[in-house]
Every structure is written in structure tokens, then in C-alpha cells.
């Protein structure tokens, strides 16, 4: 799943580049929805990390949550860059 997230973001931006201006807002909304979903998953992982007594597992979950938050930021940045290029 980790490798598919950048591909999803690239696909969203690719569609943005190929569409007309009327689709730009829709693609931006879709990118925002993807980013929001990634952040919700990151929050779930953070909650799981706080609930576990195993320090190693907590560290791993926190790292995964950080990665998802970074991916959410990347999706938003790519969508903004695609909109700015228009």
C-alpha cells in the first residue's frame, strides 16, 4: 500500500493535466478527499500506538502514521502544483 499512494497522487495530477479547467475543482476535491482519508488512517495508527504496551510496536505504528501524514501532504502539494500550472 505504501508504494501505491504516490502512484495515486501522480494519477490524480495526470488527470488534472489532461482535463479542461472545469474539472480542476473536482480533481482538487478528490485529492483533498484522498489526503483526508490518509490523515484519518494516520490518526487511527497513532491511537493504536498509544493503546499498545509494546514499545517496539508503538514505534512502528507511529512511523507508519508519520509516513501516511507525509503522503497526505504530498497529495495536497501535487494537487496544488497541478492547479497552479493551469
Contact in structure between 31 and 12 (CB atoms under 8 Å)? yes
pLDDT at 82: 74
Residue showing cell 496544488: 80
Higher pLDDT among residues 5 and 49, named by residue: 49
pTM check: above 0.75 = no
C-alpha of 20 from chain center? 24
> Mind listing the pLDDT tens digit for each residue in 17-34?
555 555 666 777 888 999
Domain boundaries, the chain: 4-11+24-80
DSSP letter string, 32-78: HHHHHHHHHHHHHHHHHHHH-S-HHHHHHHHHHHHHHHHHHHHHHHH
Measured distance CA(9)–CA(82) in Å, rounded: 11
Amino acid at each position: 500500500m505504501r508504494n501505491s499512494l504516490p502512484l495515486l497522487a501522480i494519477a490524480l495530477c495526470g488527470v488534472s493535466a489532461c482535463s479542461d479547467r472545469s474539472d480542476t475543482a473536482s480533481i482538487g476535491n478528490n485529492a483533498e478527499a484522498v489526503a483526508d482519508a490518509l490523515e484519518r488512517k494516520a490518526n487511527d495508527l497513532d491511537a493504536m500506538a498509544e493503546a499498545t504496551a509494546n514499545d517496539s510496536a508503538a514505534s512502528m505504528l507511529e512511523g507508519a502514521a508519520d509516513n501516511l501524514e507525509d503522503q497526505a501532504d504530498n497529495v495536497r502539494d501535487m494537487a496544488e502544483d497541478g492547479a497552479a500550472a493551469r
